[in-house]
Amino acid sequence: MDKVFITGLEVYCTIGVYDWEKSIRQKLVLDLEMDHDNRPAAERDDIALALDYDRLSRRVTDLVSQSPLELVETVAERVACVILGEFGVARVRVRVAKPGAVANAREVGVEIVREA
CA angle 63, 68, 73 (to 5 degrees): 75
Q: How many domains does the chain have?
A: 1
Q: Write down the catalytic residue from 3, 22, 27, 98.
A: 98
Cα 20 to chain center, whole Å?
25
CATH code for the domain in which residue 17 is found? 3.30.1130.10
Catalytic residue list contains 98:
yes
- Residue 67 is predicted with a pLDDT of 84
Per-residue model confidence (pLDDT) at position 79: 98
C-beta separation of 92 from 80 below 8 A: yes
**Continuous segment of H or E residues that includes residue 75:** helix 72-86
Answer for the pair 21, 15: CB distance below 8 angstroms, yes or no: yes
Q: How far apart are CA 14 and CA 79, in angstroms?
A: 15
The Cα–Cα gap between 68 and 14 comes to 5
Q: Which domain does 8 fall in, by range?
A: 3-115
Determine the pLDDT at residue 25. 97
What per-residue confidence (pLDDT) applies to 42?
96
pTM: 0.95
Q: Report the alpha-carbon distance of residue 29 to residue 46 in Å, rounded.
A: 29
pLDDT of the chain along its 116 residues, tens only?
899 999 999 999 999 999 999 999 999 999 999 999 999 999 999 999 999 999 999 999 999 999 899 999 999 999 999 999 999 999 999 999 999 999 999 999 999 999 99
CA-CA distance, 116 to 25, in Å (whole number)? 31
